[in-house]
Chains A and B, each alone.
Chain A
Amino acid sequence: GESVGLHLPTLSVQEGDNSIINCAYSNSASDYFIWYKQESGKGPQFIIDIRSNMDKRQGQRVTVLLNKTVKHLSLQIAATQPGDSAVYFCAENTDDYKLSFGAGTTVTVRA
């Protein structure tokens, strides 16, 4: 079964505000995590990744935080834009060859 899950299935955010998407994982042996964005009718798009030896990693308008103590991962999106509306998945590396995905959080940006 899946070892990665998301706290909330949906998130509504005002344009320009910051978004925080949360994810809990159960496999303490996981050493690599990825956030993907999936727009309707498309495949998942790589956003940002983080290895287990890091607590924080920043990209363009996005930050991923990893708390291994409580097995929690979050994605922060700064100044959310309408184009950020999508389903966001966190995924973890459970073996050397596969990723395990959670069910996803649907983010809707209000104008």
Chain B
Amino acid sequence: DAGVTQSPTHLIKTRGQQVTLRCSPISGHKSVSWYQQVLGQGPQFIFQYYEKEERGRGNFPDRFSARQFPNYSSELNVNALLLGDSALYLCASSLGLAGVISYEQYFGPGTRLTVT
């Protein structure tokens, strides 16, 4: 079975530009979460989507937005990129059973974003 897939693998952008990252969850999983991992730190929660609705948002500015599609795939958008947005962006999927969405989250390989 395919795991969580993310695209692209690597991305280089210039300050002020916009970026879109994509994620496909494990088949059958209805919940997708996005995390930012800066080098040397643990992942930080950005968003969670369940059944195409935003269920949670972390401490990130409005430049960060996301959405989930009917096939449960998801996109993360970041506008007006800053140097500090350089990080590994991780997508995680989970079944979303019993209303507890965060249990048993499985991560993709991430997208490495470099802002110059």
Kindly list chain B residues whose C-beta atoms are within 8 Å of the C-beta of A44.
43, 90, 107
**A101 and B44 in contact (CB under 8 A), knowing A32-B102, A93-B102, A96-B102?**
yes
Which residue of chain A has the shortest Cβ distance to B106 in the bound complex? A46
Asked if B64 CB lies within 8 Å of chain A CBs, one says no
Residues on A with C-beta less than 8 A from B61 are none
- Which one of B33, B45, B104 contacts A49 once the chains associate, using CB atoms below 8 Å? B104
A106 smallest CB distance to B (angstroms): 10
Complex Cα–Cα for A102 and B43 (A): 8
A98 touches B102 (CB 8 A): yes
Contacts of A24 in B (CB 8 A): none
User: Per a CB cutoff under 8 Å, which of A42, A98, A102, A104 touches B56?
Assistant: A98
- A interface, by DSSP: helix, strand, loop or mixed? strand
How far, in whole Å, are A95 and B45 apart by their CA atoms in the complex? 11
Decide: B102 and A97 in contact? CB cutoff 8 A: yes
Q: Is A58 an interface residue (CB 8 A)?
A: no
State whether A98 and B33 are in contact (beta carbons under 8 Å apart), knowing that A44-B90, A44-B107, A45-B107 are contacts in the complex: yes
Chain A residues near B107 (CB-CB < 8 A): 36, 43-46
Cβ of B35: which chain A residues have Cβ within 8 Å of it? 101
Which residue on chain B has the smallest CB distance to residue A104?
B42
* Nearest CB in chain B: distance from A2 CB, A: 7
Task: Decide if B45 touches A43 in the complex (CB within 8 Å).
Answer: no
Contact assessment for B90 and A97 in the assembled complex, using a CB-CB cutoff below 8 Å: no
Contact A96 B99, beta carbon cutoff 8 Å? yes
Interface residues of B (CB under 8 A from A): 4, 33, 35, 40-45, 48, 50, 55-56, 58, 90, 99-110
